[in-house]
Every structure is written in C-alpha cells, then in structure tokens.
Amino acid sequence: MHEMAICENIRVLIEEQARTQHFSRVERVCLEIGALSGVEVEALRFGFDVVMRGSVAADARLDIVETAGTAWCLPCAVTVTIGRRYDPCPRCGSHQIQVTGGEEMKIRELEVT
Amino acid sequence: MSQARLIQLEADILGKNNGYAAANRARFAEAGILALNLVSSPGSGKTALLCRTLDMLAGEFPCAVVEGDQQTSADADRIRATGAPAIQINTGKGCHLDGHMVGHAVDHLHPADGSVLFIENVGNLVCPAAFDLGEAHKVAILSVTEGEDKPLKYPDMFAAADLVLINKTDLLPHLDFDVELAMANARRVNHRVRLLKVSARTGEGMQAWLDWVRGARLMALSGRPSQAAE
Ligand SMILES: Nc1nc2c(ncn2[C@@H]2O[C@H](COP(=O)(O)OP(=O)(O)OP(=O)(O)O)[C@@H](O)[C@H]2O)c(=O)[nH]1
Ligand SMILES: [Mg+2]
Ligand SMILES: [Zn+2]
Ligand SMILES: [Zn+2]
Ligand SMILES: [Zn+2]
C-alpha cells in the first residue's frame, strides 16, 4: 500500500521530466532506496510495474541501489551500520543511537529515448 | 530510432510533498499556529481524544481540525459538534494525507492566528510517517487494545513521533496489556519520545496532554518570525 503511493510519486516525477527533457520512453529507472526508508524493495518492484502501466515508463527496467542504514552511537561515539531502525548498536548493544543515513528515497537516473 | 541518453536526476521521490509541507510550515510559523499531526492505527481513539480535548480547551484559545478519512465525513461531524471548525478531506483509496491536501484544507479553514490546528491523519501506521504535512509535531496514539509490540512493528511511525499517547487506559483492568513494555518499546525506537497515558473516555491523564499542547503552542507563538524581528 505504502509502496504504491511511493510509485505514484515516482510516476509524477518521471512524467514531469518527460515534458521538460523531451523524451517519450524510459528504458531504465535507477532508484536509491535506504535500508531505513521504510520501503520494502520487493513491494516497490511489484508496485512499479503496476503503476507505470500506460506511462512513458511502462516496461522500463528497474534498478534499485540499496544503501546501508548508518547511525551515530552516543556511548561508543562512532558511526555504526544498522539493518533496521530499532536495532541496537552492534558494538555495545545500546539503543542510544541517532540515525545518520539510509533514509533516502531517490530517483538517481533515467535512461531515456 | 533516437539515441538512448542518461538523465542524472538525483531527485527525492517525496520532494514535491516536502515542498508543500515546507510551505505549510512557513505559513503556520508566520501565523503562530501550532499544527499537530495525529497518527495511529484505525480506531485507536483519535477522534474521541480530539473531541474531549476540544471540549476541555473551549474558550482558552482557538482550535481548528482537519479530518482525514478514506470515505466518510462522520469524524468531522463529531468534531463540529464540539463547536470547533473542522474540514474533512476524503482521500478515497489514498491511505494518508499529504502536504498539498492539507494546504488546500487550511485555505478553506482559515485558522486564526495563534490557534492550534489538529490534523487527524488516516488511520494507518505506515505511510503517514513518510508524508510530512508541515506540522510541528507528530503525535502517535496507541490504544491498550493493540499490541505492546506496535512500536517495534511500525518503527518509522514511532520514530517520527515526538509524543505518544497511550489511550483507553480505562480498559487496562480488563486486559493483560503491559503498559511498561509498550512504553519501553516506544523508547527503543525513539529514545527522545515523550509518553503520556490517557483515557479519552474517562478523562484520566488528559490534563498532562493539555499541558503539553499549551506548552507547544507557546513555542509556536514565541517562535513567530515577525516577533523575532520586533
Ligand atoms: N474504552 C474506551 N474507548 C475509547 C476510548 N477512546 C476511544 N474509544 C472508542 O474507540 C472507538 C474508536 O474511536 P475513534 O475516536 O473513532 O477512533 P479513531 O482513531 O478516530 O478511528 P479512525 O478515525 O477510524 O481511525 C470508539 O468506539 C470510541 O468510543 C477510551 O479512552 N476508552
Ligand atoms: Mg477518527
Ligand atoms: Zn555503541
Ligand atoms: Zn498511504
Ligand atoms: Zn493545489
């Protein structure tokens, strides 16, 4: 459900680009999705095909670059990698951590004709 | 057949929504309006809590309500019965409010300067976390008839909330809901979160919540850009 809403936003952005950058077909879409963005990549792939039907990006190939979740651990005073938002610090087990990266959701590039 | 070319976009997928939200936020800041985005799963008591809140705050300062609902206008009718102005946004199949919808709702509602604008989001613990409306704070409501593990199952929502209201505490004697565990789970995903126990039914704990609203409203008022210039 959430991923469908994200795909609708992607479609709007792509169609806007099609008008301003003058292309009629998208061959490939490359997204950057952070591990902590709350998006399920599999659900996003499914939603993408459904939502892009009838648009300039119908049948486009979808590449997804998944970026790691990172956080600053207060007790350790270092940046650590976390897989999910509520994971503790992998070094000390503390929950006193502040997410610093991995929340992004971006369209990196489009291959168009 | 034209040549394939590459467009380097680096565009935030939610950038458009963030733009609308930023415009709303600037407008609220200028008018000293405190906007609160109330989020929860369906039926946790957002509307009941709002009705009681509006009754208790009546006459103290102006309040207005934006009601998000997929289908009906029943919630806005319940709010208007308290005397507060309310506008309903029907999202249809859309499962969350977005910054654009809220901007238009505020155009119609015209909340007075210095008022508190309560926005009841669609009952959904997933996407409302990602769609900024321009609010000062997200307030998550978790009722004791839900599981203690809700904050762990929906960490994005609980991480985005500044305040969690544990509602329906009047039912605790009849349930084996572990309030301490629910609060510990909320702190696990958000170690700065504030937690308050309330019952919209009996009014228990409501004063602490109203005090929180009063405090946040004063921050919105004193933070007005025009005041800073004076
Ligand atoms: N016992 C008890 N029941 C409550 C309390 N607060 C709300 N309820 C009941 O819970 C049900 C749902 O309340 P609503 O206020 O409609 O919940 P909501 O979150 O606005 O629901 P949606 O808008 O549909 O997501 C109603 O039957 C309320 O009477 C409470 O503090 N105690
Ligand atoms: Mg409601
Ligand atoms: Zn650590
Ligand atoms: Zn949604
Ligand atoms: Zn508009």
| Identity of residue B67 | E
- Dig out the tokens for A63 from the structure: 């590449």
Interface membership of B228 toward A (CB under 8 Å): no
Closest-CA residue, ligand 1 atom 25, reads: B42
Inform me whether the C-beta atom of residue B171 falls under 8 Å from chain A C-beta atoms: no
Distance CA A21, CA B5 (A): 11
Question: Is pLDDT at A87 greater than 90 in this prediction?
Answer: no
What residues have CB less than 8 Å from B208, skipping those under 6 apart?
A: B196, B198
CB A107 to CB B16 under 8 A?
no
Q: Is the pLDDT of residue A1 over 70?
A: no
The DSSP symbol for A55 reads: S
Residue B44 CA, ligand 5 centroid: distance in Å = 31
* Share of residues in chain B with pLDDT > 70 (%): 98
Regarding the beta carbon of B52 and ligand 1, being less than 6 Å apart is answered no
Cβ pair A13:B3 closer than 8 A: no
DSSP state of A50: H
Residue B201 Cβ contacting ligand 1 at under 6 Å? yes
* SS3 of chain B: CCCCEEEEEEEECCHHHHHHHHHHHHHHHHHCCEEEEEEECCCCCHHHHHHHHHHHHCCCCCEEEEEEECCCCHHHHHHHCCCCCEEEEECCCCCCCCHHHHHHHHHHHCCCCCCEEEEECCCCCCHHHCCCCCCCEEEEEEECCCCCCHHHHCHHHHHHCCEEEEECHHHHHHCCCCHHHHHHHHHHHCCCCEEEECCCCCCCCHHHHHHHHHHHHHHHHHCCHHHHHC
B-chain CB neighbours of A110 within 8 Å are 6-7, 9
Sign, CA dihedral A19-A21-A25-A30, equals: negative
Which residue owns the Cα nearest ligand 1 atom 10?
A: B45
Residue B46 is encoded by which pair of tokens? 């957002």
Predicted TM-score of the model (pTM): 0.92
Task: Tell me the pLDDT tens digit for each residue of B140-164.
Answer: 999 999 999 999 999 999 999 999 9
Backbone phi, psi, residue B211, to 5°? -65, -40
Asked if residue B229 has pLDDT above 70, the reply is no
pLDDT tens-digit series, residues B68-105: 988 888 999 999 999 999 999 998 878 899 999 999 99
pLDDT tens digits, one per residue of B33-54: 999 999 999 999 999 999 999 9
B179 in contact with ligand 1, CB cutoff 6 A: no
Residue A27: which residues within 8 A CB-CB, separation 6 or more? A60, A61, A111, A112, A113, B4
Side-chain half-sphere exposure of B227, counting CA atoms within 13 A: 13
Using one digit for the tens of pLDDT, what is the confidence trace for B193-205? 999 999 999 999 9
Of A9, A31, A109, Cβ closest to residue B6: A109
Smallest CA separation from ligand 1 atom 21, residue: B43
**Could you give the domains of chain A?**
2-112 (3.30.2320.80)
Q: How does B180-189 read in b/e, with b if 16+ C-beta sit within 10 Å?
A: eebbebbbbb
State whether B4 and A113 contact (CB < 8 Å): yes
Query: Was A7 annotated as part of a binding site?
Result: no
Q: Is B93 an 8 Å CB contact of chain A?
A: no
